[in-house]
C-alpha cells in the first residue's frame, strides 16, 4: 500500500471494514473458534415502496473474496492502531478467504427473507468479509431495483443514466452504471463506466455550451459543425424558440443536416414534447427524435406516458442515481449455522432461519406465482435460485454483464404485473417457508429457550 490515497483499491480493501470485525477476529483466533459457519445475506422486509428487489453486486464480492489479504502496509497500519496483539497481526498476514459462496445470479428478482448470497467458511473468514459484501450488494441491489422500476415505467423507451454527478461518491457512480445496465438501462453518461464495463455511453451538450455563445443559434450551429449527428439541447432560454432554431438550422444546412434529435431539460416535458413534435413534423423533420431529462423517475414517467407524450428517450439522473424514494434497504448478513448447528436470532421482529437455504421459484404458464424458502438440499419442485459460485475461495465461472442483463430481463418478465408497477402490491408476492425449514427454526428456538432461562 505505497500510495494511500483517497480511494479504495485492491491493496487496501481488506481494511475497508468495521473495526468490530477485526476485534471479533482476534477473539475467534485466540479462542480457536475457526470451525465452519454459514452466513446469509437477505432483506427481512421489503420497503413499502418496493414490491421486489433485483440482486446485484455479486461480481464485485467474488473479486474481493478472491483477492482479500493484508499486505505489509495494511499490517503496519493495524499495528499503529495499538488495538491488536503482534501475534494476531502476524496471523492476519497469512489471511485468505478459502470458503464457499452460494448466490443468486445478478439480475434475479428476490423477496423478503430470501438469501441472495450465503457464505460457508471458517468463522473468522465469513465474519470479516461482512462489511464489504453488504456495502457492495446493498447499493448495487438498490440501484438495479430502482432502474428496473424506471424502465418498466418507460414503456420500452430508451433510458439513459445521467446520474454520476449526484451519486454518493465515485464508486457509486461506477457501480450504479453497472447495476443499471444489468436492469436494462440503455447507456450511461459515465465515460469510465462505459470503458470499464463495455456499457454504451451517451451524452451531447449542456446549457453552458449555449451560454458560452452570445447567440443560441450560433451555439447550435457550432455544435453541429463539430458533431453532425448530435442531439441538440434546446431549452437554455425558451424551449420552443430553441426548437424553431433547430428547424431553421435544418433549412440552412439542407442535405448536410444530420442532427438526430433534440433534448428538453425543463418545464412540462409531456406538453413541450407534444408541441415540439408538432413543430418538427410540420417542418418535415419527422426523423428528429425527442429526448427529455430533468427530475425523472418512475413516478414522473408514469404521468408523462399516461399523457401519451411523443418522447423517444429519457435521460434519468439524480432520482435514479441515489434511489431517492428508497436510498437504503434493510439488508442483513446473519449467522445461520456454526459447527454444524443452526443459529438464529430470536429478538422480536428480527427472527431468522437456521442453516444453509435454497429458494424455489414456482411458475405457472411461465409466470412466477410464489417462492418457497427451504433448506439447502431439500427436494422441492420449482426453479432453484441459488447455486455454488465460489468453491474453496475460487470462483467457478467469470461473470458476464450482458448475460446478467439478459437474465434480468427474462426474470422480470416472469413476475406478475402488479409487482412490477409503482403501486404497492397488495398482497405482495408470497414467500412460503418449507415445513422442514420451519421445523428446524422451532427446534432452534426450543434449544435456545433451554439456555436462556
Q: Give the DSSP letter of residue 14.
A: G
Kindly give, in sequence order, each residue whose CB lies less than 8 Å from that of residue 120, ignoring residues fewer than 6 positions away. 36, 37, 38, 99, 100, 101, 102, 126, 356
User: Do residues 37 and 130 lie in contact, with contact meaning Cβ atoms separated by under 8 Å?
Assistant: no
Q: Which of residues 51-90 bind its own copies (CB under 8 A)?
A: 60, 63, 77-78, 80-81, 83
Least Å from the CB of residue 365 to its own copies = 38
Least Å from the CB of residue 326 to its own copies = 9
Least Å from the CB of residue 348 to its own copies = 8
Q: Which is nearer to its own copies, 103 or 420 (CB)?
A: 103
Is position 363 an interface residue for its own copies (rule: CB under 8 A)? no
Is position 167 an interface residue for its own copies (rule: CB under 8 A)? yes
Size of the site for its own copies (CB under 8 A): 115
Is position 271 an interface residue for its own copies (rule: CB under 8 A)? no
The enclosing H or E element of 285 equals none
Distance (Å, whole) CA 207 – CA 170 = 24
Q: Which of residues 192-231 bind its own copies (CB under 8 A)?
A: 192, 194-196, 201-209, 211-212, 214-216, 222-223, 225-227, 230
Distance (Å, whole) CA 335 – CA 111 = 19
Q: Which is nearer to its own copies, 93 or 284 (CB)?
A: 93
Least Å from the CB of residue 302 to its own copies = 21
Distance (Å, whole) CA 307 – CA 50 = 24
Closest CA to 142 of 325, 310, 288: 325
Kindly give, in sequence order, each residue whose CB lies less than 8 Å from that of residue 94, ignoring residues fewer than 6 positions away. none
Least Å from the CB of residue 180 to its own copies = 13
Is position 127 an interface residue for its own copies (rule: CB under 8 A)? yes
Cell numbers 420552443: residue:
240
Q: Which is nearer to its own copies, 63 or 414 (CB)?
A: 63
All cell numbers assigned to 180: 443499471
Write the binding mask 4 to 33 for its own copies: x where contact by CB under 8 A, - elsewhere.
xxxxxxx-xx-xxxxxxxxxx-xxx-xx-x
Conformational region of residue 267, where left means phi above 0, alpha means psi within -120 to 50, and beta covers everything else = left
Q: Which of residues 174-193 bind its own copies (CB under 8 A)?
A: 174-176, 189-192
- Tallying the residues shown for the chain, one arrives at 453
Amino acid at each position: 500500500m505505497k500510495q494511500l490515497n483517497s480511494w479504495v483499491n485492491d491493496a487496501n480493501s481488506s481494511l475497508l471494514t468495521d473495526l468490530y470485525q477485526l476485534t471479533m477476529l482476534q477473539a475467534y483466533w485466540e479462542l480457536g473458534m475457526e470451525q465452519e459457519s454459514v452466513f446469509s445475506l437477505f432483506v427481512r422486509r421489503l420497503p413499502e415502496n418496493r414490491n421486489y428487489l433485483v440482486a446485484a453486486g455479486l461480481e464485485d464480492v467474488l473479486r474481493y473474496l478472491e483477492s482479500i489479504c493484508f499486505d505489509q502496509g495494511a499490517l503496519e497500519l493495524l499495528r499503529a492502531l495499538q488495538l491488536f496483539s503482534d501475534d494476531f497481526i502476524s496471523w492476519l498476514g497469512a489471511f485468505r478467504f478459502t470458503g464457499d459462496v452460494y448466490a443468486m445470479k445478478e439480475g434475479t428478482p428476490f423477496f423478503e427473507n430470501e438469501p441472495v448470497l450465503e457464505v460457508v467458511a471458517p468463522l473468522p473468514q465469513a465474519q470479516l468479509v461482512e462489511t464489504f459484501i453488504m456495502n457492495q450488494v446493498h447499493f448495487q441491489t438498490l440501484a438495479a431495483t430502482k432502474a428496473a422500476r424506471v424502465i418498466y415505467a418507460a414503456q420500452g423507451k430508451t433510458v439513459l443514466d445521467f446520474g454520476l454527478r449526484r451519486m454518493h461518491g465515485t464508486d457509486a457512480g461506477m457501480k450504479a452504471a453497472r447495476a443499471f445496465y444489468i436492469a436494462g438501462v440503455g447507456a450511461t453518461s459515465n465515460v469510465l463506466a462505459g470503458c470499464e464495463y463495455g456499457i454504451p455511453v451517451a451524452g451531447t451538450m449542456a446549457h453552458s455550451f449555449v451560454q458560452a455563445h452570445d447567440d443560441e443559434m450560433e451555439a447550435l450551429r457550432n455544435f453541429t459543425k463539430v458533431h453532425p449527428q448530435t442531439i441538440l439541447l434546446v431549452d437554455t432560454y425558451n424551449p420552443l424558440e430553441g426548437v424553431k432554431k433547430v428547424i431553421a438550422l435544418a433549412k440552412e444546412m439542407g442535405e448536410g443536416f444530420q442532427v438526430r434529435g433534440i433534448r428538453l431539460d425543463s418545464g412540462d416535458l409531456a406538453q413541450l414534447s407534444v408541441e415540439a413534435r408538432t413543430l418538427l413534423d410540420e417542418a418535415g423533420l419527422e426523423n428528429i427524435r425527442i429526448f427529455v431529462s430533468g427530475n425523472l423517475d418512475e413516478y414522473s414517467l408514469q404521468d408523462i406516458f399516461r399523457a401519451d407524450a411523443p418522447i423517444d428517450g429519457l435521460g434519468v439522473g439524480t432520482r435514479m442515481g441515489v434511489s431517492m424514494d428508497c436510498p437504503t434497504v434493510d439488508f442483513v448478513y446473519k449467522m445461520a449455522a456454526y459447527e454444524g448447528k443452526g443459529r438464529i436470532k430470536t429478538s422480536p421482529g428480527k427472527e431468522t432461519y437456521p442453516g444453509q437455504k435454497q429458494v424455489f421459484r414456482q411458475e405457472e404458464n411461465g409466470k412466477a406465482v410464489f417462492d418457497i424458502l427451504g433448506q439447502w438440499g431439500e427436494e422441492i419442485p420449482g426453479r432453484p435460485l441459488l447455486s455454488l459460485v465460489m468453491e474453496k475461495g475460487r470462483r467457478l465461472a467469470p461473470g458476464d454483464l450482458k448475460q446478467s442483463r439478459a437474465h434480468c430481463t427474462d426474470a422480470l418478465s416472469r413476475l406478475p404485473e402488479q409487482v412490477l408497477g409503482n403501486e404497492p402490491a397488495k398482497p405482495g408476492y408470497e414467500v412460503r417457508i418449507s415445513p422442514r425449514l420451519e421445523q428446524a427454526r422451532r427446534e432452534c428456538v426450543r434449544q435456545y429457550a433451554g439456555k436462556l432461562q
